[in-house]
Chain A
Amino acid sequence: MWRLALPLALAFAARTAAARLPPDDERRLDEGTALTVGAQTLKLGVLSFDYGIIERLSVGIDPPFWAFRLAAPIFIPNAHLKFAAIASRRFWLSGQVGFYYADITHNGSSGSLTVIPFSGLASVGVAPWFWVHGDVTYDFVTASGAGDLDRADIGGSAGARAVQVGALLEWRLAPVFALTLRGRYQVYTGRLAFSGTAQADDYTTASVDARLTPRHQHPWVVVPGIALLWRHVHLTAGVGYGNVFVPGVQIPLTKQGLAPDFSLAVLF
């Protein structure tokens, strides 16, 4: 008997949820989807600060990269912009571009790393309570100088050029509650060429020509989770397996294992 209880409860919740569904209300799942944060809405989250200038356009920054300066002598200014070309009741099509700059100057060697992720995102409301979100991302990376090459990675993965595909299934069981299944796969991994010259002293000049290749060519991750989308607070959480992709730059960490997914934001 109890085996029937969960499906029945979920079916009931789905019917109830149909009354209020994204993207018509404030409870949009906007991270990793084509949906925007909404017009004149300010979102302050642990992963992203965003402001919706109009319904179709939002701008923001990723605070963790700014805060990174507190833990390491690397300054990473960044910003991102999202624009929805199509924003209908059941279908959204958006583009997002980010910009991350890291100064990797170290011990007198100047160097910098720039990451520009371009994403095309689509969100389809297959049913009123079930949405499928997908994205294709191209991470464009340039590096210059002869700084600490170890710093060209984040947690052990090279900032190489890459193409990724991502998917997010959202099953809205209640207006404020959804089950999610997030997946990401790096289809293409490029190498990062790195060269530069440094003047160590009046007598010594050093030059470096380097090539960085991520140790894993096709990292992936699958994360089941939940989303709690109150009007002014959005919380998503989950635990899966695979390579953790650093939010924003979408650079995968080298190590595979348990992959947590967490985001908390307050909306005004």
Chain B
Amino acid sequence: MTALVTAYETPTAAIDVTMLDQLRTNVEARLVVLHLDWLPDLVADALTRLGARLEANGFADPNGPTKTNRPIIDAVVQLDRVCVGWADPPGPPDAAQNGSINLTAVVDDGRLRPTVEAVASMCHARIQPSGVSLRGTQVTVDGFVDGTLDVYFYGPVPRTAADTDVLVRIQGAIGTSDQTASGEADFRVRYPNLDFTVDQPGGQIIVTISADGVTLQGSNVTVQCAADLSACNPV
């Protein structure tokens, strides 16, 4: 996870401004894999539950100050969340049918480690758009995740989806009710913005979706594109 965090700090690949059309194609292909219209909301929802649990137990956020006037508290917090499923039948949630997400957080000296591991087991989730993501969908999506998730916190564990600032790596199957594909995906959620990387010769560039559109950041140049990637120009 450390290498991935580093990869999101500085782009390692240069952008060839004469090949922007090809780069746009690569970015669009990456967007299809990442499911950024609903997947960040699913992750943010699980993390806000974790945030509530940590608050209830009196643990400090990652990167927060250590309370030296407090006893040393080492702990493992596990959060098991049954996914909401694609249907909403009456009665208690059915973990076997809906699947689940299991988060494991480790607390050292009263402070959460910045990296949290999670396992999504056949998680079927009807995602209600949170509205905080610029890339977020306006309609309900039936999402599916089955695999492992690694989450790195840049700041506090979110109490609301809008507070989310995390790097996420998912290895496994991701998709919707229409289609599912296996692979690896990583992205940074810092609502309302979203970052992800795209492989290019020599390394990776960083793509940011923000209110200003889509920004492609290479080691040599930054390119600003329209939200639909219809037009791109070096800055």
Interface string of A183-224 (1 = CB under 8 A from B): 000000000001000101011111111111111000000000
Q: Is the CB of B80 within 8 A of A108?
A: no
- Closest residue of chain B to A109, judged by CB? B56
Q: Range of interface residues on chain B?
A: 20 to 34
- Closest residue of chain A to B58, judged by CB? A150
The stretch of B69-77, B146-154, B179-187 that contacts the partner chain: B69-77
Could you pull out 19 A-B pairs where Cβ atoms are within 8 angstroms? Answer: A107-B56, A146-B56, A148-B56, A148-B58, A149-B57, A149-B73, A150-B57, A151-B58, A160-B71, A200-B49, A202-B92, A204-B81, A205-B79, A206-B80, A208-B53, A211-B73, A213-B73, A215-B68, A255-B69
Q: Is the CB of A156 within 8 A of B76?
A: no
Q: Which residues of B contact A194 (CB under 8 A)?
A: 75
Residues of B in contact with A (beta carbons under 8 Å apart): 49, 52-53, 55-59, 68-84, 92-93, 107
Q: Which residues of B contact A157 (CB under 8 A)?
A: 71
Q: Is the CB of A156 within 8 A of B69?
A: yes
Interface string of A233-268 (1 = CB under 8 A from B): 000000000000000000000110000000000000
How many cross-chain pairs have Cβ atoms below 8 Å apart between A and B? Answer: 100
Given A206-B79, A215-B72: 15 more A-B contacts, CB < 8 Å: A106-B58, A107-B55, A109-B56, A149-B58, A150-B58, A200-B52, A200-B53, A203-B82, A207-B77, A208-B57, A211-B73, A211-B74, A211-B75, A213-B74, A254-B69
User: Out of B56, B71, B83, which one reaches A158, CB within 8 Å?
Assistant: B71
Q: Is the CB of B70 within 8 A of A215?
A: yes
Q: Is the CB of B49 within 8 A of A146?
A: no
The 7 closest A-B pairs by CB, nearest first: A150-B58, A158-B71, A210-B75, A107-B56, A213-B72, A156-B69, A148-B58
Q: Which residues of B contact A206 (CB under 8 A)?
A: 49, 53, 77-80
Q: Is the CB of A209 within 8 A of B55?
A: no
Q: Which residues of A contact B49 (CB under 8 A)?
A: 200, 204, 206
Cα distance A152–B59 in the bound complex, in angstroms:
12
* A153 interface hit (Cβ, 8 Å): yes
User: Out of B75, B76, B83, which one reaches A149, CB within 8 Å?
Assistant: B75
